[in-house]
Amino acid sequence: MSPGFEFTVPVLVVGGGACGCIAALSAREAGGEVLLVEQDERPMGSTGMSQGLICAAGTKSQAEHGIQDDAERYYADIMAKTLGLTDPVLARTIADHAGPTVDWMVEALDMPWQLDTGFRPAYGNSAYRVHGWRGHSGQDMVDLLHRRLDDAGIDVVLGARLSEVHADEEGRILGVSLSRPDGSVEHVGCGALVLACGGFAADHAMVARYMPEMAHARNNGHEGSRGTAVHVGEQLGAQLGDMGAYQGYAMLTEPQGIPVPPGVPVEGGVLVNMAGERFVDETADIAGMVHPVLAQEGEHVWVVFDDRIEAAADYIPEMQQLKALNALKKADSVPELAEMIGVPANTLQAALDATRSAHSSRMADPTGRIWGDDLPPAAPYRALKVVGAIFHTQGGLQIDGEARVVRPDGTPLPNLFAGGGAARSVSGPAHWGYLPAMGLATAVTFGRLAGRAAARIARPSAQAELSDR
Ligand X SMILES: Cc1cc2nc3c(=O)[nH]c(=O)nc-3n(C[C@H](O)[C@H](O)[C@H](O)COP(=O)(O)OP(=O)(O)OC[C@H]3O[C@@H](n4cnc5c(N)ncnc54)[C@H](O)[C@@H]3O)c2cc1C
For ligand X, the binding residues (CB under 6 A) are 14-20, 37-40, 43-47, 49-54, 161-162, 196-198, 220-222, 224-225, 228, 259, 391-392, 420-422, 437-441, 443
Measured from the CB atom, the residue of 193 and 338 that comes closer to ligand X is 193
Measured from the CB atom, the residue of 225 and 367 that comes closer to ligand X is 225
Measured from the CB atom, the residue of 294 and 437 that comes closer to ligand X is 437
Smallest separation (angstroms) from ligand X to the CB of 170:
23
Measured from the CB atom, the residue of 142 and 312 that comes closer to ligand X is 142
Smallest separation (angstroms) from ligand X to the CB of 352:
29
- Whether the Cβ atoms of residue 207 and residue 391 lie closer than 8 Å to each other: no
Burial class, 274, CB count within 10 angstroms (exposed 0-12 / middle 13-18 / buried 19+): middle
Smallest separation (angstroms) from ligand X to the CB of 239:
19
Measured from the CB atom, the residue of 276 and 439 that comes closer to ligand X is 439
Spatial neighbors of 402 by CB under 8 A, at least 6 apart, are 412, 417, 449, 450, 453
CA distances from 65 to 117, 128, 322, 400 (A): 9, 9, 30, 33
Smallest separation (angstroms) from ligand X to the CB of 395:
12
Short-list 94, 95, 134, 92, CA closest to 113: 134
Smallest separation (angstroms) from ligand X to the CB of 21:
8
Measured from the CB atom, the residue of 162 and 386 that comes closer to ligand X is 162
Smallest separation (angstroms) from ligand X to the CB of 418:
9
Residue 352 has phi, psi (to 5 degrees) of -75, -35
Measured from the CB atom, the residue of 220 and 273 that comes closer to ligand X is 220
Measured from the CB atom, the residue of 294 and 338 that comes closer to ligand X is 294
Spatial neighbors of 202 by CB under 8 A, at least 6 apart, are 219, 221, 222, 223, 224, 225, 226
Smallest separation (angstroms) from ligand X to the CB of 44:
6
Smallest separation (angstroms) from ligand X to the CB of 192:
17
| Ordered alpha helix ranges (H), 130-225 | 138-151, 204-210
For residues 416-452, one letter each, b for 16 or more C-beta atoms within 10 angstroms of the residue's C-beta and e for the rest, the string is bbbbbbbbbbbbbbbbbbbbbbbbbbbbbbbbbbbbb
